[in-house]
């Protein structure tokens, strides 16, 4: 039995405009909802579209070997690529998937609408999205089509619980207000359609689905890349789907909305240094990977696998105390020895985390005086990262 995507509709209230579909399959009947919000008008002005639901269900259909039937017109560009190229890329990353058929009517060019003049990006406050904002504020060579004026904050499975999502959302909303940016987003229970796959393995599809549910209140969406291009191309195909974004994103575009990679030419170390050179952004950094905010008044715990390397670089360049409002620095000092142990394990072990190798390279070449002999000896053991980081110009801007 194919998966049938039917009865695409919207449900509008004073607070938001939800996008809904009825899904029928061998598992029964289900209602899938994208709970959408936006600080700009326009969500109610466009007819409901199935594009987001097809992207959301594609991996599930390929895993369960069910074709997809859609009763509403789809974007012709997206449908064309979903039928073949996108599935080929996914199968390269996940060999257990099988190609499926997608049957749907298509919209014509005359059905296209002129999108609003917004350039959007997904924003968490982490290193990747914060570097994009830094470039928006300071890079005069940035083309106007890359200057972000809308932040999107989705809830599609990246956080462990509702409490953490709400903390992160309030942070994003406040950041948008402080920097005079529009804000939009969508929430959807996506985990059931990616059973057996981690968020890192499915991040691109979940985010694109949520973003398409808001189409076309924006004309362009920039993905702040979490994998630098040199690493991504070397390890592709890989089950970390972010490495495939240079191939996937152009295939997921529609007639009205463009998806582009941003920041893939930079290493994570270079991004950290760019952010640390921007005093206005430091109080807003929110990159913590802990599963709960219950145990701290700070946005960032300062000792998880994301916080600790960032703070090591901040300490090396003299910016650590500037982060005292949003990082638990007392915890950083208290747990430093244990966190160093985890840092080296991640740099040397099976994960071979490139961020940690970049940080180790930086510390042994640019900050030898900050670390006692034992730490310096351990730093020498960590292999060089895959990508070279060019830091001299960035360091001159921090000094």
Is the pLDDT assigned to residue 139 strictly greater than 70? yes
**pTM score, whole prediction:** 0.91
DSSP 384: P
CA distance 361 to 138: 27
Tokens 């890329």 belong to which residue?
A: 89
Q: How confident is the model at residue 131 (pLDDT cuts 50, 70, 90)?
A: very high
Residue 129 has pLDDT above 70, yes or no: yes
Q: What is the pLDDT of residues 250-266, one digit of tens each?
A: 999 998 889 999 988 99
Over its C-alpha atoms, the chain yields an Rg (Å, rounded) of: 22
**Confidence at residue 370, expressed as pLDDT on a 0 to 100 scale:** 62
Q: Is the pLDDT of residue 369 over 70?
A: no
Pick the more confident residue, 129 or 351: 129
Tell me how far apart the terminal alpha carbons of the chain are, to the nearest angstrom. Answer: 64
Write down the number of H helices and E strands in the chain. Answer: 15, 10
- For the cut 70, the answer to whether the pLDDT of residue 124 exceeds it is yes
Helix (H) or strand (E) holding 131: helix 127-138
Task: Report the distance separating Cα 245 and Cα 154, nearest Å.
Answer: 18
Count CA atoms closer than 13 A to 348's CA, side-chain side. Answer: 12
CATH architecture for segment(s) 119-262? 3-Layer(aba) Sandwich (3.40)
Mean pLDDT, rounded, for 62-75: 95
Res 111 pLDDT > 70: no
pLDDT of residue 115: 63
Query: How much is the pLDDT for 211?
Result: 96
pLDDT of residue 159: 73
228 vs 135, 245, 365, 385, CA distance in Å?
Answer: 16, 11, 21, 12
pLDDT tens, position by position, 301-332: 999 999 999 999 999 999 999 999 999 999 99
Closest of 168, 176, 205 to residue 190, by C-alpha: 205
* Residue ranges of the chain that CATH labels 3.40.50: 119-262
Residue whose tokens read 């915890």: 331
> What average pLDDT is seen over the chain?
89
Degrees, nearest 5: CA angle 177-171-19: 85
């Amino acid at each position: 039995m194919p998966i049938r995507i039917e009865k695409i509709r919207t449900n509008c209230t004073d607070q938001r405009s939800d996008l809904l579909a009825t899904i029928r399959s061998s598992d029964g009947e289900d209602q899938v909802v994208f709970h959408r919000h936006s600080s700009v008008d326009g969500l109610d002005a466009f007819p409901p579209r199935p594009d987001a639901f097809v992207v959301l269900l594609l991996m599930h259909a390929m895993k369960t070997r069910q074709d997809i039937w859609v009763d509403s017109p789809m974007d012709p560009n997206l449908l064309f690529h979903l039928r073949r190229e996108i599935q080929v890329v996914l199968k390269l990353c996940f060999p257990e998937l099988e190609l499926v058929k997608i049957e749907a009517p298509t919209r014509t060019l005359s059905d296209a609408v002129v999108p609003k003049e917004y350039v959007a990006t997904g924003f968490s406050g982490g290193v990747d999205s914060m570097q994009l904002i830094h470039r928006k504020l300071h890079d005069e060579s940035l083309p106007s089509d890359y200057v972000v004026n809308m932040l999107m904050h989705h809830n599609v499975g990246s956080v462990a619980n509702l409490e953490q999502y709400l903390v992160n959302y309030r942070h994003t909303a406040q950041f948008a207000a402080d920097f005079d940016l529009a804000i939009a987003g969508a929430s959807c229970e996506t985990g059931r359609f990616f059973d057996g796959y981690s968020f890192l393995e499915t991040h691109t599809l979940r985010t694109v689905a949520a973003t398409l549910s808001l189409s076309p209140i924006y004309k362009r969406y920039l993905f702040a890349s979490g994998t630098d291009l040199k690493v991504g191309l070397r390890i592709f195909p890989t089950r970390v789907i972010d490495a495939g974004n240079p191939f996937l994103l152009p295939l997921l575009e529609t007639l009205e909305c463009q998806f582009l990679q941003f920041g893939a030419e930079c290493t994570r170390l270079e991004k950290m240094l760019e952010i640390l050179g921007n005093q206005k952004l430091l109080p807003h950094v929110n990159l913590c990977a802990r599963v709960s905010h219950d145990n701290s008044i700070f946005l960032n715990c300062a000792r998880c696998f994301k916080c600790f390397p960032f703070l090591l670089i901040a300490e090396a360049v003299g910016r650590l105390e500037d982060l005292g409002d949003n990082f638990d620095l007392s915890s950083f000092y208290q747990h430093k020895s244990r966190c160093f142990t985890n840092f080296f394990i991640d740099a040397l072990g099976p994960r071979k985390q490139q961020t940690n190798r970049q940080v180790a390279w930086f510390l042994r070449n640019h900050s030898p005086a900050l670390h006692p002999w034992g730490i310096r000896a351990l730093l020498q053991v960590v292999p060089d990262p895959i990508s070279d980081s060019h830091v001299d110009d960035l360091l001159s801007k921090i000094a």
